[in-house]
Structure 1
């Protein structure tokens, strides 16, 4: 029984250190800002940014569908870059089948971009 507990001791220590560091990195900056006086909320600091709409309205309000379209297009082309880099690094060792498969993938993505462009998914008013 003692040997089983001893086997798990490094894992428990790792989790304890990770938890302590997580708490320190989250709460220490908040405590330091309160002590040094950097915590001075005002309406400009508390206003919404990035998303462009007030954050504390009715949760049943509808979002503009273009927001989701742009997010989906970003994910698609971000994944393209994530697949393209490792393929390019290993291209010399993979042969023609890999090259043809990637060209089919890039053609599908290009057709999707052309379709989205024609439908006006990239237009923002």
Structure 2
């Protein structure tokens, strides 16, 4: 058991060391105005390269992803019903649906689902 734990500890140490080395070697500090501006064949840029992004659209996308993952967690419950305790599977499904419904109601009350400001 100690041998397995030492291998796991060694694995984490090596992975953290490799991440630290990769991050320290990958940092670039030379960010002058010319380096970050877009290149358009020597001419001044016609428009900004950074297009403004709607924060409302981003929030709706994140909400969709969260609810999509929660719905994906409901799919295996149909397979568990055959092999497991029916009461446990039913309560697990109800808890997931309750969390999904409460999250939807919260987002609706906070105005996160409104497209018009």
Q: Please state which structure has a larger fraction of its residues in helix.
A: 1
- Give the TM-score of the pair, scaled to structure 1: 0.47
